[in-house]
C-alpha cells in the first residue's frame, strides 16, 4: 500500500471519531487549572495562539532536516514524517512488518486525545506479524516553519502474539510549533514492545503527547521517555494490563533548564491478576525550570497478586527550580504488593567538595554527580544502541545549557 493510499484510508477511518472530538473540544476548550489532572499544566493560554497548517517540505529538504535533527535514524529502518506528512522517500521497513491505516481511537476524557482526534493527520500504522522479530524501527516526526504551525499525527502500533519490536520514537524540529502526537499500542499475548521516546523539540515548541497502551496476557510494554526539548510539554500514558502476567514499564528522565515546563502523567490500570508495573522517573531541573510528575496505579478487584512500583525523584540545581509530584495508589484488591514514593533534593556539597579536592573542575564535578543521579533511570534501557543514543543526547544537553 502506498503512502497516499494509507493516508486516504486513515483519513476515512478517523472520520468516525472526528465529529465527536470536535464537539468535545468546542464545549470544553483546552484544560485549565480547575481540572485536577491539569492543575499544574494548564493549556488555556494556547487558545490565543493562531497555529496554522504547516507547509509541505520537498524530499531533499526533508533529508537534510533528518540528517540535522535525527542523525541516529539515518541508516536504520525508519518511518519519517515532516510537517505532519509521511516522506516515502525516507521510509524503509524490515520483513515481517507492514504499514496499515492508523486508527488511534478517541479517549474522550483525555484532552490530548480529543485535540488530536479533532485535527488528526494519518500517522504511522504498523503491524508486526505473530512470532516476528522486527528489530528496531525509528519513528521520526520533524516540524519546521517560521510561523506557529501544528501537527496532530495519530499513530497505531499492533504486535501479534509473541512478536517483538523496538520503536525508537524521535520528535524534534525548528521554530515555533505545536506537536500533538497520539500513539495507540496493542500488545498481544507474549509480545514485547520496547518504546524509546526522545523528545527534543525546538525551544519555541509545545509538545502534547499521549500513549494509550493495551497489554494482553504475558505481554510487555517497556517504555522510556527522555524529555530534553520544548518550552512546554506533557507526555501522558494510559496503560491497561488486561491479561494475567502482563507487564508495563513507564520510565523517564526529564532535563529542564531556562523556564521550560515538562509534565509526565501516567495512569496504569491493573485489570487482571499477576501483573507487574514499574515506573522510575528522574528530573534534573535548573534555572527556572518546572517539572511535573503525576503517576497513578489503579488496581481492580480482580487484579490479585499485583506487583506495582512507582518512584519519582527530582534534583534541583537552582533556587528557582520547581517540581510538583503527585504519586497515587487506588487499590481494590487485597492481595497486592504496591509502593510509591517521591524525593526532592540538591547536589550533595560534600560529594562536590570531594571531587573538587581531587582536581576535578567545578562544572565537570557537577556533571558527574548529575550523571550518577540519572543512572538508575538510564540503566533501565537494556538495548545497547538505544542506551548509547540516550547518553549522547544527555551529554549534549548538559554541554549546551548555560553553566551556573
Reported as a single tens digit per residue, the pLDDT across 270-280 is: 999 999 999 99
Place of cell 512546554: 232
**Residue-level pLDDT at 208:** 98
For 306-344, b/e burial (b = at least 16 CB within 10 A) is bebbbbbbbbbbeeebbbebbbeeebebeebebebebeb
User: Residue 162 pLDDT more than 50?
Assistant: yes
CA distance 179 to 273: 37
CA distance 178 to 204: 9
**DSSP H or E run through 169:** strand 164-174
User: Beta strand pairing status for 133-144 and 121-128?
Assistant: unpaired
**Which of 177, 205, 199, 20 minimizes the C-alpha distance to 83?**
177
**Span 208-233, mean pLDDT?**
98
Yes or no: say if 117 and 123 are a contact pair by the CB < 8 Å rule: no
Backbone phi, then psi, for 145, in 5-degree steps? 165, 155
Name the least confident of 36-40, 69-73, 181-185, 311-315: 69-73
Reported as a single tens digit per residue, the pLDDT across 288-324 is: 999 999 999 999 999 999 999 999 999 999 999 999 9
Half-sphere exposure for 229 (CA within 13 Å, toward CB): 26
**Span 164-190, mean pLDDT?**
97
CA distance 316 to 281: 14
Bigger pLDDT: 104 vs 164: 164
Q: How large a percentage of the chain has pLDDT more than 90?
A: 82
User: Residue 12 pLDDT more than 60?
Assistant: no
Yes or no: say if 115 and 145 are a contact pair by the CB < 8 Å rule: no
**Residue-level pLDDT at 132:** 95
Measured CA distances, 91 to 61, 66, 85, 150, 269 (Å): 15, 12, 12, 22, 35
Number of residues written out for the chain = 404
Q: Whole-prediction pTM value?
A: 0.94
Reported as a single tens digit per residue, the pLDDT across 342-390 is: 999 999 999 999 999 999 999 899 999 999 999 989 999 998 888 999 9
User: Residue 19 pLDDT more than 90?
Assistant: no
Amino acid at each position: 500500500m502506498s503512502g497516499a493510499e494509507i493516508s486516504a484510508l486513515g483519513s476515512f477511518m478517523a472520520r468516525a471519531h472526528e465529529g465527536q472530538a470536535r464537539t468535545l473540544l468546542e464545549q470544553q476548550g483546552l484544560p485549565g487549572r480547575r481540572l485536577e489532572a491539569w492543575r499544574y499544566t494548564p493549556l488555556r493560554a494556547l487558545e490565543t495562539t493562531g497555529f496554522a497548517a504547516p507547509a509541505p517540505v520537498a524530499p531533499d529538504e526533508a533529508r537534510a532536516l533528518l540528517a540535522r535533527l535525527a542523525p541516529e535514524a539515518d541508516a536504520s529502518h525508519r518511518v519519517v514524517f515532516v510537517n505532519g506528512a509521511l516522506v516515502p522517500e525516507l521510509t524503509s521497513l524490515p520483513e515481517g512488518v507492514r504499514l496499515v491505516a492508523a486508527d488511534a481511537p478517541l479517549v474522550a476524557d483525555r484532552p490530548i486525545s480529543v485535540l488530536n482526534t479533532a485535527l488528526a493527520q494519518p500517522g504511522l500504522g504498523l503491524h508486526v506479524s505473530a512470532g516476528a522479530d522486527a528489530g528496531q524501527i525509528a519513528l521520526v516526526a520533524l516540524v519546521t516553519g517560521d510561523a506557529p504551525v501544528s501537527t496532530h499525527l495519530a499513530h497505531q502500533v499492533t504486535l501479534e502474539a509473541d512478536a517483538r519490536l523496538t520503536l525508537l520514537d524521535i520528535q524534534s524540529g525548528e521554530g515555533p510549533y505545536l506537536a500533538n502526537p497520539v500513539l495507540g499500542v496493542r500488545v498481544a499475548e507474549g509480545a514485547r514492545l520496547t518504546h524509546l521516546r526522545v523528545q527534543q523539540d525546538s525551544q519555541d515548541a509545545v509538545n502534547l503527547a499521549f500513549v494509550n497502551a493495551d497489554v494482553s496476557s504475558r505481554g510487555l510494554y517497556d517504555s522510556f521517555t527522555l524529555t530534553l526539548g520544548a518550552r512546554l510539554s506533557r507526555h501522558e500514558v494510559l496503560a491497561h494490563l488486561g491479561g494475567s502476567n502482563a507487564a508495563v514499564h513507564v520510565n523517564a528522565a526529564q532535563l529542564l533548564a531556562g523556564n521550560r515546563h515538562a509534565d509526565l502523567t501516567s495512569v496504569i490500570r491493573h485489570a487482571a491478576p499477576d501483573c507487574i508495573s514499574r515506573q522510575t522517573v528522574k528530573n534534573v531541573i535548573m534555572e527556572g525550570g518546572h517539572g511535573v510528575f503525576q503517576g497513578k496505579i489503579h488496581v481492580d478487584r480482580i487484579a490479585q497478586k499485583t506487583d506495582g512500583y512507582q518512584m519519582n525523584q527530582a534534583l534541583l540545581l537552582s533556587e528557582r527550580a520547581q517540581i510538583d509530584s503527585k504519586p497515587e495508589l487506588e487499590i481494590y484488591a487485597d492481595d497486592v504488593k504496591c509502593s510509591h514514593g517521591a524525593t526532592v533534593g540538591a547536589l550533595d556539597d560534600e560529594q562536590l567538595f570531594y571531587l573538587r579536592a581531587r582536581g576535578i573542575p567545578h562544572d565537570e564535578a557537577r556533571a558527574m554527580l548529575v550523571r550518577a543521579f540519572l543512572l538508575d533511570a538510564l540503566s533501565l534501557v537494556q538495548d545497547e544502541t538505544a542506551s548509547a543514543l540516550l547518553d549522547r543526547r544527555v551529554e549534549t544537553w548538559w554541554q549546551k545549557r548555560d553553566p551556573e
